[in-house]
Chain A
Amino acid sequence: MTQLIQQLINGLSIGSVYALMAVGYSLVYSIMNFSNFAHGGVIMLGSYFGFFLLTLFKLPFTAAFLGAALGAAVVAVIIERVAYSPLRARNAPFLYFIISAMGASIFLENFVIATIGPTFKTYPPVFPKEPFRFGPLFVGRLDMMMFLISVVCLAALVYFIDFTKTGKAIRATAYNMRASVLMGINTDMVIIIVFGIGGALAGIAGVLFGMKYTVYPQMGFITLKSFIAAVFGGLGSLPGAVIGSILLGVIETLTSGYISSQLRDLISFSLLIIILVIRPMGLMGRITEEKA
C-alpha cells in the first residue's frame, strides 16, 4: 500500500511536468489547429538555457529559472515568425505547417549538436538530496518542487486566460479566428502571445526535466509524451491536457514500478492508439462534425 502511494506521488510529480508541456502544445493547437512539432525543440533549448545560466553564469536558481522561461518564449516566438507566419499569410493547408514545424525541430536539434555537442549534461544539484518524510512516505525535494512549480504555473495560466482581457481575446480567437478579426481583435498579436506562453511553459518544463534527468540534444523526444497526453485529454482542451498528463504520468510510473521500466514508453504509445480507437476526441474533447 505504501509503495502504491509512493508511486502515485512520483507519477503526480512527473505528470505535472508533462502537463506544462501539453498545455503549451494544446494552447497552440486550439488557436492554429495544427500540431506544433517544434515544441520539443523549444523544451530542449529551455533546458540548455537553464543549464548554462546555472553553471556558466552562476545565477541563483530563481533567476536561472525565469531566464530559461524567457529565453524559450523568445525562441518560440521567433519560430512562429519565421516558420509559420508566412504560411499563415498565404492560408496554406495544415500539412505545410507540420512540415515547417518539423524543419524547425530538425534545425534546433542539430544546431545544438553542432554548437554545444551531443553529450549529456547534468544539472548541478540545486536542492539537497535528502527527501521529505511524511510518516512512511518519502517525497524527494525535487519531485515536490516539480509539482509545486507546475501547479503555480498552471494556476497563473488559468488566471490569465479566464480573468484578463488578453485571455478573453485568446479564448475568442480559439473559438473563431475570422470572427475575432472582425470584432477588432489583433489575432496576430494573440498568436504571438500564445506562442510566448507556450514557450515559457516549455522552458520551465525543460529545466525541471533537466534537473530530474539530464540535458541532451534529443530530449525533445519527450514531447511525444505531451502529444499523447493532449490526445488523451482531447486536442485543444486545456483541462483535458492537464488531466491527460497526470493520468499518463501515473500510468508510466506504475508501469515502471510494477511491470518493467523498459515497457514504459511502449505502454504509453499503445495507450495512445487504444484511446484514439475507443474515444477519438479524448476525455474532454468535443466531436466536431464536418458540414457540407
Chain B
Amino acid sequence: MDWFYIKGILILSGINLMAVLGLSLLTGFTGLFSFGHAGFMALGAYATAVMTVKFGIPFIPALLVGGLTAALASLFIGRLTLNLKGDYFCIATLGFGEAIRLILDNIQYFGGARGWPGIPQETTLLKVVILNIIAIIILKNLIRSRHGRNMIAIREEELASKIVGIDVFRYKMISLLISAFYAGIAGGMLGHYATFLQPKMFSLVKSTELTIIVIFGGLGSITGSVLGAVVLTALPELLRAFAQWRLVVYGAAVIFIMISRPEGLMGGKELSFMTIKSVLRYTKPWRKIGAFTEGRRQGRL
C-alpha cells in the first residue's frame, strides 16, 4: 500500500467523480435517466487527445474543448430524445452510447478498436482535485439557484411544473448539456491518465457504473455523489485479492442497497459547514446549560 497506489486510486475516484457530478445533476436533480454517459466521456476523451496529441494544445484548454465537444453532441441528442418518456429515454441514450463506441471502433485515424496509445500523462492528483472542487462549487450554486429549483420541480412532478410555467424541455436540455460537459472533461482526464484510449473503455458497463455510483451516494445529493465515487472506486481496488468475486459481490450489493436503503447513502441530504457546526454545537460536552434554553426559545429543540 504505497503512496503511488493510493494516489492512483484517488485520481481514478476523482475522474469518476467528475462524470458522476454531471450525472447527478441529470438523474438526481432533474430525474432523467441516462445510460449513454460513457458515450459523452468517449467524445470528451478523444477530442481532448486530438487537441493535445495532434495539435499540441496545452492540457487544460484541450480539456475544455473535450467538454465542449460532448456538450455539442448532447445538444444534438437532447433535441432528438428529451421529449421521450421514461424507458424510451433510457433506451435511446443507451443506443446513443453504444453507437458512439461503435463509430469510434471504425475510425482508423484514432486507432479503431485496437486503441490509441502514446497519449501524454497530464492528469495529476492536484489538477483532478482542483477541477473537481471548481465543478462542485459550480454545481452547488446552480442547484441553489432558481434554475436548479426548476430542475428539482421537474423531477418531482413534470406535469405540475409545466402548468406553473416552467419550460420543461429547456431545463432538461440545460441539465443534459451541463452533465455532458462534465462527462466530457472526465473522459479527457481519463485518457490523459491512462495514456491510452480504446472504445471498449466506454462501454455500457461504464455508464452503468456511473449510474450505480449516483444511486449509491443518494439521488439529489452532491455530498452523496462524492462519497459514492470515492467508496465505489476504491472498493473494487481494495478487494483485488478476491479478483473474480468482487464484481459478483458488487452486483449483489447493488440489489441489496435497492431493496434495503433505496435512498442511498445521503439521499437528498447535504453535508455542509452549517450542519457540521450545528452537530458540533449540540454534541459539545462542555456546552453551557444556557445553550439548551437558548435553543429552546428559538424553537430549535
Contacts and interface: CB of A to CB of B under 8 A. Distances in A.
A111 interface: yes
Interface string A11-53: 0000000000000000001000111000000000000000000
Contacts of B88: 231, 235, 276, 280
Contact of A107 (B87, B90, B251): B251
A94 B86 contact: yes
A269 interface: yes
Interface residues of A, number: 47
Contact of A94 (B87, B258, B259, B262): B87
B244 A114 contact: yes
Main secondary structure of the interface of B (DSSP, over half): helix
Interface string A74-90: 00000000110011001
A277 B80 contact: yes
Contacts of A273: 77, 80-81, 92, 95-96, 99
A195 interface: no
Contacts of A263: 106
B248 interface: yes
Interface string A224-235: 100110010001
Contacts of B91: 35, 227-228, 231, 272, 276
Main secondary structure of the interface of A (DSSP, over half): helix
A114 B212 contact: no
B99 A269 contact: yes
Contact of B255 (A95, A103, A292): A103
Nearest to A235: B87
A292 B163 contact: yes
B215 interface: yes
Given A265-B102, A273-B81, A290-B159, A107 B262 contact: no
A227 B204 CA distance: 14
B10 interface: no
Interface in B226-284: 244-245, 247-248, 250-255, 258-259, 262
Interface string B97-129: 011001101100000000000000000000000
A104 interface: yes
B195 interface: no
Contact of B251 (A29, A106, A262, A270): A106
A107 B251 CA distance: 4
B99 A99 contact: no
Interface string A98-127: 111011111111110110000000000000
A32 to B, nearest CB: 11
Nearest to B203: A221
Contacts of A175: none
Nearest to A84: B259
A273 B80 CA distance: 8
A96 interface: yes
Nearest to B252: A107
A55 to B, nearest CB: 23
A117 to B, nearest CB: 9
A99 B87 CA distance: 12
B44 to A, nearest CB: 20
Given A35-B87, A86-B259, A98-B33, A110 B248 contact: yes
Interface residues of B, number: 44
Nearest to A285: B88
A108 B85 CA distance: 29
B130 interface: no
A94 B102 CA distance: 29
Contact of B99 (A33, A98, A266): A266
B85, B87, B90, B252 — most chain A CB neighbours (10 Å): B87
A261 to B, nearest CB: 12
A137 interface: no
Nearest to A290: B159
A92 interface: yes
A102 B87 contact: no
Given A34-B87, A99-B215, A107-B251, A265 B244 contact: no
A280 B84 CA distance: 7
A111 to B, nearest CB: 5
A99 B211 CA distance: 8
Contact of A272 (B83, B95, B212): B95
A27 B251 CA distance: 25
15 contacts: A87-B262, A92-B262, A95-B27, A99-B254, A102-B211, A102-B212, A103-B251, A106-B251, A114-B248, A227-B91, A262-B106, A272-B95, A273-B99, A276-B84, A277-B80
Given A110-B247, A262-B105, A276-B81, 20 more contacts: A83-B255, A86-B259, A92-B262, A95-B219, A99-B215, A102-B208, A104-B255, A106-B254, A107-B251, A107-B255, A110-B251, A228-B91, A235-B88, A265-B102, A266-B99, A266-B102, A266-B106, A269-B102, A270-B99, A277-B81
